[in-house]
């Protein structure tokens, strides 16, 4: 048997990304690992409700935007108050796609990763 534990996004500006994920989604740092030579930092973010974590990886020697290809991959988040979340994300200017017919929308983080926002059922 297997169970989900975490998913990784590589980021250019770790502090900017951590601030975004806390402001936009309420995710907070639960642990981190730093290379002894300073070559990388891994920060694991959690929602405080589930065991699933988002790992943000910062690489010291990476100096260009990550190639996200067609960017057809994404993480999905459920919210109890969809309208409040939508208003907050609209104010933040991070909504990148809305599908009103499906009742969902996507936001993008500072590195361009898409995050799907779903209403609770």
| Domain layout of the chain by residue ranges | 6-62+71-119
| Distance in angstroms (rounded) separating the CA atoms of residues 62 and 39 | 10
| Distance in angstroms (rounded) separating the CA atoms of residues 121 and 26 | 20
pLDDT of residue 6: 95
Task: Please give the full DSSP string across 53-90, using - where no structure is assigned.
Answer: EEEEEEETT--S----TT---EEEEEES-HHHHHHHHH
Q: Is 40 left (phi over 0), alpha (psi -120 to 50) or beta?
A: beta
| Distance in angstroms (rounded) separating the CA atoms of residues 111 and 115 | 12
Record the pTM.
Answer: 0.93
pLDDT of residue 72: 82
Structural contact between residues 34 and 41, judged by C-beta atoms closer than 8 angstroms:
yes
Q: Per CATH, which fold does 6-62+71-119 belong to?
A: 2,3-Dihydroxybiphenyl 1,2-Dioxygenase; domain 1 (3.10.180)
Instruction: Give me 38's structure tokens.
Output: 């300073």
| Residue in the block written with tokens 């993480």 | 75
75 to each of 72, 79, 112, how far by Cα in Å?
Answer: 10, 13, 12
Residues classed as catalytic: 116
pLDDT in tens, 77-86: 999 999 999 9
pLDDT of residue 67: 92
| Distance in angstroms (rounded) separating the CA atoms of residues 5 and 54 | 9
Under-70 pLDDT residues of the chain: none
């Amino acid at each position: 048997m297997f169970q989900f534990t975490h998913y990784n996004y590589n980021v250019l500006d770790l502090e900017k990304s951590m601030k975004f994920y806390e402001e936009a989604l309420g995710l907070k740092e639960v642990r981190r690992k730093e290379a002894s030579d300073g070559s990388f930092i891994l920060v694991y973010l959690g929602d405080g409700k589930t065991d699933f974590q988002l790992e943000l990886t910062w690489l010291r020697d990476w100096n260009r935007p990550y190639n996200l290809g067609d960017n057809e991959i994404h993480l999905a988040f459920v919210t109890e108050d969809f309208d409040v979340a939508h208003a907050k994300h609209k104010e933040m200017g991070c909504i990148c796609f809305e599908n009103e017919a499906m009742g969902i929308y996507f936001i993008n983080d500072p590195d361009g990763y898409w995050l799907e926002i779903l209403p609770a059922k």
